[in-house]
């Protein structure tokens, strides 16, 4: 049995209260993971080209207010 299969089995055995607590924990953990990855990508310069392009579009007047 894979780790994922075991996790699925374990999750199915949780009470409704435990599932609610797990969902809250997982949502917070997943958001923090997303933030860490984004910060790593920014630090590595992976978004520089996108940012430069957006700034150039703004300076050229090719944007509109939100």
- The DSSP string of 2-66 is -HHHHHHHHHHTS-HHHHHHHHHHHHHHHHHHHHHHHHHHHHTTTTHHHHHHHHHHHHTT-----
Rounded to two decimals, the pTM is 0.68
Residue 18 lies inside a defined structural domain of this protein: no
Number of structural domains (the chain) is: 1
Asked whether residue 3 is assigned to any structural domain, the reply reads: no
> Residue 7 falls within a domain, yes or no?
no
Q: Can you give the pLDDT at residue 48?
A: 97
Confirm whether 64 is domain-assigned.
yes
Determine the structural domain holding residue 49 and report its residue range.
23-66
What average pLDDT does the structure give for the chain? 97
Predicted local distance difference test score (pLDDT) of residue 63: 93
Query: What are the backbone dihedrals phi and psi of residue 47, each rounded to the nearest 5 degrees, phi first?
Result: -105, 0
Tell me the mean pLDDT in the region 17-29.
98
Instruction: Express each pLDDT in 24-46 by its tens digit.
Output: 999 999 999 999 999 999 999 99
Judge whether 15 lies within some domain.
Answer: no
- Confidence band of 62 (pLDDT split at 50, 70, 90): very high
41 close to 48: Cβ distance less than 8 angstroms: no
């Amino acid at each position: 049995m894979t780790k994922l299969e075991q996790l699925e089995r374990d999750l199915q055995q949780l009470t409704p209260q435990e599932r609610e607590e797990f969902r809250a924990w997982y949502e917070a953990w997943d958001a923090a993971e997303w933030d860490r990855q984004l910060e790593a990508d920014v630090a590595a310069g992976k978004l520089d080209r996108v940012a430069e392009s957006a700034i150039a579009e703004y300076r050229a007047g090719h944007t509109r207010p939100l």
